[in-house]
Structure 1
Amino acid sequence: MNMRILRIELKRSIAPWAGVAAFTMSLAVMYLVMEKDFLTTTGWTNQWTSMALETRAPLYFVWPLAAGLGARQGLRDHRSGATELLISTPRPTSHRAAVLSAATAITLAAAFTAVVLVGGVQVLTNTSYTHLGWVPISLVGALTVVSGAVLGMGVGRTLPFVLTPPAVAMGILVLTVLAQLSLEKVDAATGFSTWEPNLFSLLSPAAQEARDVLLTLSVSVHVGQAIWLCGMAATGFVLLTAANLRNRLIALAPVVAGAVIALLVLPSDPRQVYVVDKAAARLVCDGPVCVTNTHRARLNDFAGPARDALRMMRSALGDQAPILIREDTEVWPDSSRPRRFRQTALFDFEDHEIAAAKGKELTRALIANSLVPRCSAYLGATSSSDVSAQSIAASWVLDEPEPHSSDMAYLSSGQQDEIRKVYGELTSLPRAEQRSRISTMYLGAVACKGDPFAALGGGASR
């Protein structure tokens, strides 16, 4: 390819403006729409895999934009009335198409790369776990905007009408919207709305989100999406060079073949879409306290309060108390019931009560979480009974005169009065009976049986 011609094309086409528009829109989405995700462990500036997945979220809007601008670029020859003149020149049509598509591809890929760099610079300062597993995720993201633009150029040249660019953009937008909507699933048992990937949703690279810092996309997802997007780009390029109806019909073959092959390669089982990054999930321990390799930078500040929590629970419960505290390396669907263990207390930094706490507050949070673990993988599924039992259990282990007010902040005044009443009744019992009730509550909570708050009042354990 003649670099001088490419430079001329970059100057006279809308390719640079397409890159500027894509970059601006992506940053606007990241900083305005997704700002609430900054403080979570899966925020786009916290971990490499999360950054790669989250920077693909703006493709929900940028992919249609790239396709629409590509279609407008495809109208250029028709608008200038130079179609017949260009056909009569000795330069092959494929050469002109290659230069035009290369100019747009370079600017859009550069725009997406710039967004990734903005996130990557911040990730460097926020994590000590560095790897290259995120690169395929970002490469597919860059391929998405390029394929959309090239397909748009081909459609624009084939259908040289004023309404073609908005129609192309709307078509891609409809695809992304339907792919996003197809993710939602209501669990019949719990009534919670969950997000479950499916084959159709995988056709939109914007529909995959950062679900957990230990999860990454499987190889089959990368390969399947790359095949689908390359098919789109190939169809767009052939349409750019097609001079008759027969060739234009043949041009549909790559996108159809790409879709069929992609659907065969992409995982049909939702559990195979995301896989655990074994290197990220590797445990790093300080005695009985373990965190994942991803969060190893937190271990120094976390180990002390965690050991204090283990010591206090051991002193209060004896042999019934957990002897290890470690970060949970299993990733469960929101509707599932995680496995819990009596001797090992599991925690998740995605739990704000633990992630935001330090020192004595962290010790308290770990005691509450260890003695009354959640029986749902969904972080928002903690019941008022669990919160009440956690407040009482933590206050009892810490030998406080009454439950901590901060534990009950989100409960009604009636529920707070009930907690104080149960705690008063519990602490008025002989010490052996107090320990028996706490132990019964703990064993029931670990097995996810009964009501932990009722167990503290002498009722059935969970």
Structure 2
Amino acid sequence: MTGTLTPSRTAPRARVRTVSPLRTELRRGLGPWSGAAVAVVVLVTMYGKAPAWQSRWADVTGLLHVAVALLGGPLALAAGAWQGGRDRRRGTTELWESVPRSRLSRLLVSVAPSALWPVAGALLADAVCLLATRPYVSGGRPRLELLAADAVALASLGALGHLVGRLVPRRLTAPLLGVVGYVGLGVGTYAGGAARWLSPALEYRWAWGRPVWWFAPVSAGWTAGLALAALLAYGARTARSRALAVVPLAVAVGAAALILRLPADEGPWRPDPSMIRPVCDGGTPRVCVTALDRKLLPSVSEVLAPVNARLRGLPGAPARWSVGPLDARPGDVQLLDPAADAVRGRIERPDLYRNFAVMQLFSDTCRPGDLTGPDAERAMTVNAAVIQWLAPTPGGFGPDVAGTRPYIDRLNSRSPAAQRDYLARYLAANTCHPDEVPVP
């Protein structure tokens, strides 16, 4: 009788789930809260200034640059210091050092939350603001390389704060370091000469320019080099290993040397020919803006339409209204930057913008000795009256010039033909010579 062989059944092996120390560190402590704090602070700040940046990529990236560095930087320093001093405050330093990894490896894992979470919060705020700007910009592109350099600077500040927290594990270290960081970043923006471009919080807003191609990576090398040098010097056990800190320190010094060679005023910015190309409407007088603001052209043309209706065809009327750094031509009248008064693609105060345009039209550059004599006061009153007649000053803006109302009433009482005749005579007169100014 032969027996049957039955296969032996063995109990299934339990799966051992290994958890990465980096993942554990990223999920515990103050790291996630620091990222959320940076995102909230930057977004709240940007929301309060939304009308100032939603028309141009240069404006939104410039304000994000300042908000992330000047507000997120101190938060990253303080959160990093608190995270860095946590193990010593809890008395778990020996337990952490018993992990079978090198000291530098353990240091990099523990620094990761202090460096990465503030960057995550800043990048989230960047993405939200860029998406909010996209429907209203006319041209160009966001300077993502500059935002990336800002993220590197923020990570470096978080890492440096972590090291300070390890060296001085006191509860007051974090808030004091945050205050010192805010003051230091703010004061650094007032440095003289090209040294101010070393500050990660310096505001730069050159709407019609672009940075030289190497500025963003060199700026990142400047801040990251300092942080990596400090990490290597602290985390290495032997003198030979500490000598490796010279490499990132040399990178930081070389990057700083390049930045210090920039012009003190313009810094890394150079004119962008594609942004200063004129875009004009078909009206008379013409309204011309740069390609950077071509989406604002319909709004600017609509604002100036009532004035153009009265100036059209008159001798002495402007050849065109120009906005931005366009090539000046005879008969041009320079207008205010429309993006400064625009909200989501439209001029917010058309009455105020129109009034300023007319003031520019009648703003003669007089020499010393002009506007004198017995008719000087009357000439200035007539000038104010003509401006108010063409484009009344909104209430609360600018002083009321006494004596203008009779002249305005006389102009309003005339026929359209008589009004055009007087306006032609006024445009032909030299308003710097009071005796030539015609009285309505």
The TM-score bracket by the shorter chain reads 0.7 to 0.9
Q: Secondary structure of the residue that 1:270 maps to in structure 2?
A: coil
Q: Secondary structure of the residue that 1:55 maps to in structure 2?
A: helix
Counterpart selection for 1:115 from 99, 113, 125: 125
**Offset at residue 63 of structure 1 (A):** 0.5
Instruction: Please say if 1:179 is aligned against 2:171.
Output: no
Identical-pair percentage: 22
- Compared with structure 1, are the counterparts of its residues 392 and 277 closer, same or farther at alpha carbon in structure 2 (3 Å cutoff)? farther
Instruction: Please say if 1:327 is aligned against 2:343.
Output: no
Q: Does the aligned pair in 1 maintain the 2:72–2:122 contact within 8 Å?
A: no
Q: Does the aligned pair in 2 maintain the 1:155–1:236 contact within 8 Å?
A: no
Partner of 1:334: none
Partner of 2:178: 169
Instruction: Please say if 1:406 is aligned against 2:422.
Output: no
1:79-228 to 2 correspondences below 5 Å: 79-129=89-139, 131=141, 133-182=142-191, 198-210=193-205, 213-219=207-213, 221-228=215-222
Partner of 2:347: 355
> Quick one: distance in 1 between partners of 2:338 and 2:365?
14
Where does the alignment leave 5 or more consecutive residues of structure 2 unmatched? 1-17, 367-377
Q: Secondary structure of the residue that 2:65 maps to in structure 1?
A: coil
> Quick one: distance in 2 between partners of 1:121 and 1:23?
15
**Offset at residue 116 of structure 1 (A):** 1.0
> Quick one: distance in 1 between partners of 2:320 and 2:333?
6
Counterpart selection for 2:42 from 26, 51, 62: 26
Q: Does the aligned pair in 2 maintain the 1:153–1:236 contact within 8 Å?
A: no
Q: Secondary structure of the residue that 1:290 maps to in structure 2?
A: strand
Q: Secondary structure of the residue that 2:100 maps to in structure 1?
A: coil
Partner of 2:231: 237
Q: Secondary structure of the residue that 1:345 maps to in structure 2?
A: strand
Partner of 1:439: 428
Counterpart selection for 1:346 from 326, 334, 346: 334
* Deviations, residues 232-269 of structure 1 (Å, cap 9, x unaligned): 32134224513479977985884586256314324242
- Compared with structure 1, are the counterparts of its residues 312 and 424 closer, same or farther at alpha carbon in structure 2 (3 Å cutoff)? closer
Q: Does the aligned pair in 2 maintain the 1:372–1:390 contact within 8 Å?
A: no
Q: Does the aligned pair in 1 maintain the 2:280–2:288 contact within 8 Å?
A: yes
Q: Secondary structure of the residue that 1:278 maps to in structure 2?
A: coil
> Quick one: distance in 2 between partners of 1:115 and 1:95?
31
Where does the alignment leave 5 or more consecutive residues of structure 1 unmatched? 183-196, 331-338, 376-384, 399-403, 442-451
> Quick one: distance in 2 between partners of 1:180 and 1:314?
48
> Quick one: distance in 2 between partners of 1:12 and 1:141?
25
Q: Does the aligned pair in 1 maintain the 2:310–2:420 contact within 8 Å?
A: no
Q: Does the aligned pair in 2 maintain the 1:408–1:416 contact within 8 Å?
A: no
> Quick one: distance in 1 between partners of 2:169 and 2:243?
16
> Quick one: distance in 2 between partners of 1:458 and 1:436?
10
Instruction: Please say if 1:38 is aligned against 2:29.
Output: no
* Deviations, residues 317-340 of structure 1 (Å, cap 9, x unaligned): x1x33222332226xxxxxxxx96
> Quick one: distance in 2 between partners of 1:225 and 1:295?
29
> Quick one: distance in 1 between partners of 2:364 and 2:127?
39
**Offset at residue 224 of structure 1 (A):** 4.0
The one-letter code sitting in structure 2 at the alignment partner of 1:265 is I
Instruction: Please say if 1:70 is aligned against 2:80.
Output: yes
The one-letter code sitting in structure 2 at the alignment partner of 1:28 is V
Alignment RMSD, CA only?
4.2
* Deviations, residues 409-461 of structure 1 (Å, cap 9, x unaligned): 54445x332x45777999999998975553344xxxxxxxxxx5x545648xx
TM-score, normalised via structure 2 length:
0.73
> Quick one: distance in 2 between partners of 1:29 and 1:438?
46
Q: Does the aligned pair in 2 maintain the 1:151–1:235 contact within 8 Å?
A: no
Q: Does the aligned pair in 2 maintain the 1:19–1:108 contact within 8 Å?
A: yes
Q: How many positions carry a matched residue from both structures?
A: 396
- Compared with structure 1, are the counterparts of its residues 84 and 3 closer, same or farther at alpha carbon in structure 2 (3 Å cutoff)? closer
> Quick one: distance in 2 between partners of 1:361 and 1:174?
38
> Quick one: distance in 2 between partners of 1:140 and 1:389?
55
> Quick one: distance in 2 between partners of 1:23 and 1:272?
29
Q: Does the aligned pair in 1 maintain the 2:229–2:245 contact within 8 Å?
A: yes
Partner of 1:188: none
Partner of 1:272: 267
- Compared with structure 1, are the counterparts of its residues 165 and 420 closer, same or farther at alpha carbon in structure 2 (3 Å cutoff)? same
**Offset at residue 222 of structure 1 (A):** 2.5
**Offset at residue 123 of structure 1 (A):** 0.8
- Compared with structure 1, are the counterparts of its residues 392 and 136 closer, same or farther at alpha carbon in structure 2 (3 Å cutoff)? farther
> Quick one: distance in 1 between partners of 2:223 and 2:60?
21
> Quick one: distance in 2 between partners of 1:432 and 1:456?
19
TM-score, normalised via structure 1 length:
0.70
Give the number of the structure whose residues are more often helix, by fraction: 1
The one-letter code sitting in structure 1 at the alignment partner of 2:46 is M
- Compared with structure 1, are the counterparts of its residues 298 and 76 closer, same or farther at alpha carbon in structure 2 (3 Å cutoff)? same
- Structure with more relative contact order (C-alpha pairs < 8 Å, separation 6 or more): 2
